[in-house]
Homo-oligomer: A and B are copies of this chain.
Amino acid sequence: MPKYGFRQHFEGWEEFKKRPIGERLPVFFKDGRIFDVLFSQQFDRTFLDSLYDLTNRIRRIAKSREGARWLHDLHGPRRAMLYFVQPSTRTFLSFLNACHILGFYTSEIRDPQTSSEIKGESPEDSIRTFSSYVDLIVMRHPQAGFAEKTAWLLNIYSDRPVPLINAGSGSDQHPTQALLDVYTLQRSFEQRGGIEGKVIALVGDLKRGRTARSLSYLMKNYPGVKLLYAAPPGFQIGEDIKEFLSGQNIPFEEHDSLASVLSTADAIYMTRIQDEHDERGESQSQYEEFCLRKQDLARMKSDAIIMHPLPRRGEIDVAVDKDPRAMYWRQERNGMWTRAALISTIFGSDEEIRTQGQRFLV
């Protein structure tokens, strides 16, 4: 007898997941609106611009006590479940507080050991159980594709599917990180003609970090952007991304030091060398070259910005924090607002925020 009887049904899923992404996407939209947020491929320019505007509005409305209360009462009382079975503090707290801003009560599963899985329940049954109590599921899972499978399952099998947001699945997708990165670029360049035509340097472990990959992908929406990839040998951006860029006629260059992109970039996106994936400490020796020091600041453009998905270790000197070009702390907080805007969009309150919410923007 199989442990998870559910597997018998996976012919359906196995077939579904083999389809090209364009054919899979419609399953995750509902009434012409995004329902499940799973891949950055779901975001086009119209969506990004609309979310940018909505994020700005929510952020400003929440500044006053009256505005904060209005936003809260507009969405709440609702209930969200955060299913985070992979360690994460930043993304977890960012979503949790985004939910709270919108008046969602939250429940958490952070350790699958406390779950019924110890009684032999299938993960699919567990998620279906969670979905039966709440209005929204936010999920971080170590297994690539698990979020998509779960969303598909709820949409196909449950008579009461709830929206699901992928908060990071394995090494493949972390779509809301991409959204907050785009938001931060757009906000920083608002007075300078937008993201279009800017030179964006991505620095560090570009092979294993998924943020650089998603961001590269989304740049197709911004004509004239040029990408500079600065990485140690063996850590360069993947061939698949380079092929994608060539196909889209997006210019890019490969560099082997931070120094060589420092003075030309409008945005420098630093990333962490993920040496927790190392087998024999192979990252360490090449690390120094890809750290941003206080003395590097003088060589940067005066209106450039410095980003980082955080957490950082040594790759940005703390002395850099006080420079007005350091945008990473704001970028982190942008994550909370972007996620609040995304949830608003899913629940269809974007229109009301644009119209009724106008009165809080004085």
Contacts and interface: CB of A to CB of B under 8 A. Distances in A.
Interface of A: 1-6, 8-9, 68-69, 72, 77-79, 81, 87-90, 93-94, 96-97, 100-101, 103, 105, 107, 109-110, 114-116, 118-121, 125-126, 128-130, 132-134, 157-160, 272, 276, 287-288, 291, 310-314, 316-319, 321-322, 329, 332-333, 336
A2 B4 CA distance: 48
A185 to B, nearest CB: 19
B321 A129 contact: no
B103 A107 contact: no
A319 B126 CA distance: 17
Contacts of A6: 318
A17 B71 CA distance: 42
Nearest to A331: B132
A225 B313 CA distance: 52
Most buried by B among A4, A105, A125, A132: A132
A110 B114 contact: yes
Nearest to A316: B5
What is the oligomeric copy number?
A: 3
A159 B327 CA distance: 12
5 contacts: A79-B100, A93-B129, A128-B329, A132-B336, A133-B333
Contacts of A89: 109, 114-116, 126, 129
A81 B89 CA distance: 12
A353 to B, nearest CB: 16
Given A77-B101, A132-B329, 18 more contacts: A2-B314, A3-B313, A4-B313, A5-B313, A5-B314, A5-B317, A79-B100, A81-B93, A90-B116, A90-B129, A93-B130, A96-B133, A97-B105, A97-B134, A121-B311, A128-B329, A157-B322, A160-B333
B68 A77 contact: yes
Contact of A313 (B121, B126, B319, B322): B121
Nearest to A272: B119
A83 B110 CA distance: 17
A326 B134 CA distance: 21
A125 B310 contact: yes
Contact of A96 (B87, B107, B159): B107
Contacts of A287: 1
Contacts of A87: 114, 116, 118
Contacts of A333: 132-133, 160
Nearest to A121: B311
Contacts of A4: 313, 318
B318 A9 contact: yes
Nearest to A84: B114
B68 A125 contact: no
Contacts of A96: 107, 133
Contacts of A132: 329, 332-333, 336
Contact of A1 (B79, B130, B291): B291
Contact of A97 (B90, B101, B107, B291): B107
A275 to B, nearest CB: 9
Contact of A120 (B94, B311, B336): B311
Contacts of A88: 116
Nearest to A81: B93
A318 B103 CA distance: 35
Contacts of A114: 87, 89, 110
